[in-house]
Chains A and B, each alone.
Chain A
Amino acid sequence: MNLEAIIFYFFSAITIVAAIGVITVKNSVQAVLCLVLTFFSAAALWLLLEAEFLAITLVLVYVGAVMVLFLFVVMMLDVDFAAMKQGFAKHLPLGILVGAGLFGAIYWVIRFEVFGSDKVAEPAKHTQDYSNVEELGRLLYSEYFYPFEIAGVILLVAIIAAISLTFRGRRDRKGQSVREQHQVLKEERLKIVSMKSEKIDSGDDS
C-alpha cells in the first residue's frame, strides 16, 4: 500500500464517519460541525485527485461561508428534542421507504458494473508543473464559455429572487440616516447653558 492509498483511506474513513455523525449526533450544533468535517475531508480527497482549485473552493465556499451561516441559524434555534422525537415510530416506515428508494437510486447509478475500477479509466497523473487552476480557467473561459456565462446569469437571477422574496416592502423605520448624521453641526445638537454653580453643603448628603 503506497502513501496515496493510506491518505485516501484515512480521509475516506473520516468522511464516512463524519457523514454518519451528521444524522446520528443528537446536538444540532455538533451535527453541523460533523458536516463541516465531512466537507473538509472531501476536500482532502479532491486534493488527491489533483483538483486543488475545487478542493480549496469547497473549503472556502461551503466551509467558510455556507456552513458558518448554517451554524449561525442552528445556534439560535431553541430545539426541543422531546417534541422532535414525537411521532418517530409513526413516520419510521415512510422514512425507511424513502431512504431505501434513495439508496437504491444512488446504487443503481454508481454500482460496480457501471462505475467499477475496470470500467472507469484511472485519471492520468500530471507532471509537477501542471496547474489545475490554469487548466480550469482555460476550459471555462474558452470551451465552456457559454455554459459558464449562463450559470452566472442563473445565479444572478437567483440572487435577485432571494432578495425580492425576503424584501417585505418599504417600512417607515426609525433607522438612522448616516448622511444626515454626518451633516449635523455642533450648534444644532449642543446647547451651552451658562448658569451659576450651585453650592453643595458638605457633610450632609441626606
Chain B
Amino acid sequence: MDFMQLVTEGLWIVAKIVMILLPLILAVAYTTYAERKLIGYMQLRLGPNRVGPKGWLQPIADVIKLLMKEVVVPSGANKTLFLLAPILFIAPSFAAWAVVPFDAELVLSDTNAGLLYLLAMTSIAVYGVIIAGWASNSRYALIGSLRSASQIVSYEIAMGFALVAVLMAGGSMNLGDIVEAQNGSALHWFWIPLFPILVVYWISGVAETNRAPFDLPEGESEIVAGFHVEYAGMAFALFFLAEYANMILISVLTALFFFGGWLNPFQGIPYLEPATAWIPGTIWLLLKAAWFLFMMIWLRATFPRYRYDQIMRLGWKVFIPVTVVWLIVLTFWIKLEWGWWFDGRGLAQLAQTVGGAS
C-alpha cells in the first residue's frame, strides 16, 4: 500500500472515531441533565434550572467546574496506577462503540466478531475499578472496588449467556446481521422469542454499569463513594463519563439485539410504513435507545438499593439458570422453526447443508 494512501485512510478512520465520540460525549453531558431533571420531577422537585434557559447549560457548567478542579493524589497512593485507573476505565467503554452499527451501512468496524469484541471490552473495564480502589490507599475505595469487581464478574456470566442466545437467534456475531435477521415487522424483533433473555440482559446491563439499584460499589450510605472516593476534578469526571457512556451503550445494544435496531417499528403496517419511511434508521435507533436510557433513570428513582447477598443470589442462582434453560428452549425453537422468526434455519436446512458438505 502506498504511504500517502495509508495516511489518508488513517486520518479518515480518526475522523470517523471523532464523529462517534463527540456526539457520545455530548449525549453523556445531556444524559446527566436529563437524569437530574427527570428524577427531580419524579420527586416533585424542579431539578437544575439556574444555568441558561431552563437550566440547559447546566452540564456545560459542570464540565467547566470539573476541568478547573485540581486532581488530588492522596498520600500513600500509588501515583502511576492512581492516574492510570480512570483511563483504563474509560478506554474500553469508548472502544466498544467501534462495532456498534447506527444504520445499515453506518458502522466504524463491520467485523464478524462484533459480539465477542463487545463482551471483551465490557469485561476489561473492571480493571479501572479494581486499580482505582487499590491505588487510592483507602479502605472505602478498596471495599468499593472489591464489591464492584465481584458484581461485574458475576453478572458478566449471565450477560455472556444472554449474548450467546442473541447470536443463536441472529445466526451471526456481526451486529448488523443480527439486526437484519429481525427484519419484517415489530413482531419479527427478537423481544418475543428472547423475552426472558431480554429481561436478564437488561438487568445485568444495569448491574454492570453500577447503576441503582445495583450501585453497591458506590453506596453513599455505607462507603461514601466507593472506588472513586479519592478522585477529584478531571479524574473523577472520566469515571463519570465512562459510567454514562456505558449506560448509553447498554441502551443502544438492547435496542439493537432485541428491538430491531434501526428498523422502522411500523414496518409491514399499511399507511403507517410509507408515512414514516422518510425517517432515517439512526433516528429510530436513538429513539429506542433513549427509551431504555429513560428506564434506567426511572429505575434509579424508583428502587432502593439491593442488599449485597441478594445481588449475588440474583446473579448466580436466578439469572444464570434462566439463561441456560432458555438456551435449550431456543435451540428447539430454532430447529423446529416455530413462528416466523427463524425461517430457513430449521432441521430441513441443516440436513441440506450436511448433505451438501458430505
Contacts and interface: CB of A to CB of B under 8 A. Distances in A.
Interface in A120-163: 131-134, 142
A53 interface: yes
B130 A56 contact: no
B313 A178 contact: yes
Contacts of A59: 120, 123-124
Contacts, number: 72
A75 B173 CA distance: 35
B117 A56 contact: yes
B310 interface: yes
Interface in A44-75: 52-53, 56-57, 59-60, 63-65, 68-69, 71-72, 75
Given A52-B112, A59-B123, A134-B112, 10 more contacts: A2-B1, A27-B78, A30-B81, A60-B123, A64-B124, A68-B126, A68-B127, A71-B130, A133-B112, A133-B173
Interface secondary structure of A, over-half rule = helix
A53 B111 CA distance: 11
A198 B197 CA distance: 56
B153 A56 contact: no
A183 interface: no
Given A36-B127, A64-B123, A68-B149, A75 B134 contact: yes
Interface of A: 2-3, 27, 29-30, 33, 36, 52-53, 56-57, 59-60, 63-65, 68-69, 71-72, 75, 131-134, 142, 176, 178
A140 to B, nearest CB: 14
Interface of B: 1, 6, 78, 81, 111-113, 116-117, 119-120, 123-124, 126-127, 130-131, 134, 142, 146, 149-150, 153, 156, 173, 309-310, 313, 357
Contact of A60 (B112, B119, B126, B134): B119
A52 B111 contact: yes
A68 B130 contact: yes
Counting from the closest, the 8 A-B pairs by CB-CB distance are A64-B123, A60-B120, A131-B112, A59-B120, A56-B116, A52-B113, A56-B120, A75-B134
B313 A53 contact: no
Contacts of B134: 29, 75
